[in-house]
Amino acid sequence: MATTARARRGRGSAKRRWRFPGQPRSWYGKLFRWVAMAVCAFVVISFAQVLFFKFVPIPITLTMIMDGNGITKDWTSLSNIDPNMPRAAIAGEDAKFCLHHGFDTDAIRKAMERNAEGGRIRGGSTISQQTAKNVFLWQGGGYLRKALEAWYTVLIEAIWGKRRIMEVYLNVAETGIGTYGVEAGAIRYFNHSASHLSRTEAARIAAVLPLPKKREAASPGGFTLRHGNRIARYVTSVRVQGLDSCLK
């Protein structure tokens, strides 16, 4: 009888011990499960976002929404933008655009070295990284934003391709106060469409891109004028050297 009772108690304790074998046994187990679910959901949502905008024009971005100066923009396909403009963007922002897969490690290393020396902080972001930030994220720094930017950069490189990345970049980049995209920028500064931009005009818009609220493309002076003239000279090199070959 005693042996039978002990056996029953043993079976009962075993039953209690394995009652919920598939559930976490502690709070950190539950936390891990929720984090894993959140990460999986983010991966699926971000993939769907990028796939959707491969075919659909970007209607608005967080930067535009938060701009207190209003929004002036006009989506224009890359085929209707003068080739001088993407060449100027490559010359001014990302000379290796057609050569890298989203990240220019040499530019990042040089930027870090310059920043370590002090003075004005410089970035090493490629056009792909800037596009990922402008479309899907917010302005400013921080490790989280940088990590998300890297993730979206990988996605748009894999799903969109270079031509679509350049098209989106030239349509969402801020080109002046409350002005977004090179079509709106061309009309603002030169009173005509981006479908026919001279090398100088395209270069001046490209020179404005890093600081669109502080630089003027129509009648530039000082650094903006010198930088624009330098970009204009490089536009020909971009064409001759085939640095825009991925856009054809």
Block means of pLDDT (10 residues each) for the chain, length 248 residues?
Answer: 51 48 68 92 97 97 94 97 98 96 84 60 80 94 92 98 98 96 97 97 96 90 94 96 96
64 is a domain residue: no
Tell me how far apart the alpha carbons of residues 135 and 34 are, in angstroms, rounded to a whole number.
27
- Cα(110)–Cα(115) distance, integer angstroms: 9
Residues 86, 96: Cα–Cα separation, whole Å: 13
What is this structure's pTM?
Answer: 0.85
Separation between Cα atoms, residue 178 and residue 69, nearest integer Å: 5
Is residue 119 in some structural domain? yes
Spatial CA neighbour of 198 closest among 227, 229, 161, 155: 229
Give the per-residue pLDDT at 26: 83
Which spans in 1-99 are helix H? 2-17, 27-52, 62-65, 84-93
Measured between alpha carbons, how far is 112 from 125 in angstroms, rounded to an integer?
Answer: 12
What is the model's pLDDT at position 14?
45
- Indicate whether 34 belongs to any domain: no
Count of structural domains within the chain: 1
Closest by Cα among 56, 33, 34, 52 to 44: 52
In a domain, 146, yes or no: yes
**CATH for 108:** 1.10.3810.10
- The answer to whether residue 219 sits within a structural domain is yes
What local confidence, expressed as pLDDT, does residue 103 receive?
A: 94
Residue 8 lies in a domain: no
* Predicted confidence (pLDDT) per residue in 140-150, tens digit: 878 999 999 99
Please give the residue range of the domain that contains residue 114: 39-53+76-247
| 5 in a structural domain | no
Structure confidence by residue, pLDDT tens digits, 231-247: 999 999 999 999 999 99
